[in-house]
Structure 1
Amino acid sequence: MAKRTVAAIVGLGLALSACAGIRDHKGFVIDQTLADGIQVGVDNKDSVAKTLGRPTFTGQFDPNDWYYVSRNTAQLAFRDPKVTDQTVLRVQFDQAGNVAAVSKTGKEMIASVDPSGDKTPTLGRKRSFFDELFGNIGSISQPGLPGSQQ
């Protein structure tokens, strides 16, 4: 009886350990002291690159916008990861390469996008699987058309 109890406790412990949460960090590791040290009108692209390093990405429409993205996630077992903390540091430069603005946003800027459905809408007629498979059986071919025998 005692062996069964011990085996049950060990089995339950192993089963619960498989559902342990996973914490992960993705992106840039932002040092708050260094990020706060960037000053408008004083720093330029070279000094920002030396202080913070290369940006996570630059602006698609304006290469003078540098973005440093940091994200922490938590995940339980096989579920989708949930964002627990996010910081996006945006450094904007003027045409001369000097810092024009520094802004920081957080998790509140994450957008939730819901797809419209499981299927992509297409134009044309809607035929079932069997219509596609057996639709041409019994159709009369005309001479000169592709697939017809002359």
Structure 2
Amino acid sequence: MKKQIYLTLTIGMMTMLSACESRITQHGNRLDPITLDKLTIGSTKQIEVEALFGKPSTRGAFDSGRIYYIAQQMENAPGKKTALLDRTIVIFAFDDKKTLQSIEFQDENQGRTVFFLDSATPTPGETFGFFDQILGNIQTRQPSQ
């Protein structure tokens, strides 16, 4: 009987621990180097680039003629924050006639880290507490006729 309990506990623990592994996920468009070699600077059109690689991850602001393909690998480890393993950004620059002018490659080391603030922006006016909100709604309610 004791042996059966230990065996059941061992199998149960092994099953639970097997779920505690990291997952590596791929996000974005990872461009094929062989397909990149097919592009010719000065003659390839933007529509051809988008036909080969699909819709870009983002476009440059103010119609700058730049499109960006961003790919990254993330590791989701149990009990830890998601970690960036690899990021590749391929930037295609086009002229006014939508002809390819340059291809630039960047990785995670060339990017900037942006920190977000959790604080709220103060707004003018009154700040209502819990009871103010409840009693205020009762006060403004009009009886139906």
Which TM class, normalised by the smaller chain length?
Answer: 0.7 to 0.9
Superposition pairs of residues 66-77 of structure 1, within 5 angstroms? 66-77=67-78
Q: Which runs of 5+ in 1 are unaligned?
A: 140-145
- Greater helix proportion: 2
What percent of counterpart residues are identical?
22
SS of the residue aligned with 1:61? helix
Task: Label 1:20 to 1:68 Cα distance change in 2 as closer, same or farther (>3 A).
Answer: same
CA distance in 2, matches of 1:100, 1:66: 12
Equivalence for 2:106: 105
Equivalence for 1:65: 66
Equivalence for 2:32: 31
Task: Label 1:2 to 1:38 Cα distance change in 2 as closer, same or farther (>3 A).
Answer: same
- Kindly name which structure, 1 or 2, has the bigger radius of gyration based on alpha carbons: 1
Does structure 2 retain, via aligned residues, the 8 Å contact 1:35–1:52? Answer: no
State the one-letter code of the partner of 1:83: L
CA distance in 1, matches of 2:100, 2:74: 31
Equivalence for 1:19: 20
Q: Which runs of 5+ in 2 are unaligned?
A: none
Does structure 2 retain, via aligned residues, the 8 Å contact 1:55–1:66? Answer: yes
Does structure 2 retain, via aligned residues, the 8 Å contact 1:23–1:74? Answer: yes
Corresponding residue pairs, total: 139
CA distance in 2, matches of 1:64, 1:50: 17
Equivalence for 1:96: 97
- Calculate the TM-score normalised by the size of structure 1: 0.71
State the one-letter code of the partner of 1:3: Q
CA distance in 1, matches of 2:124, 2:45: 52
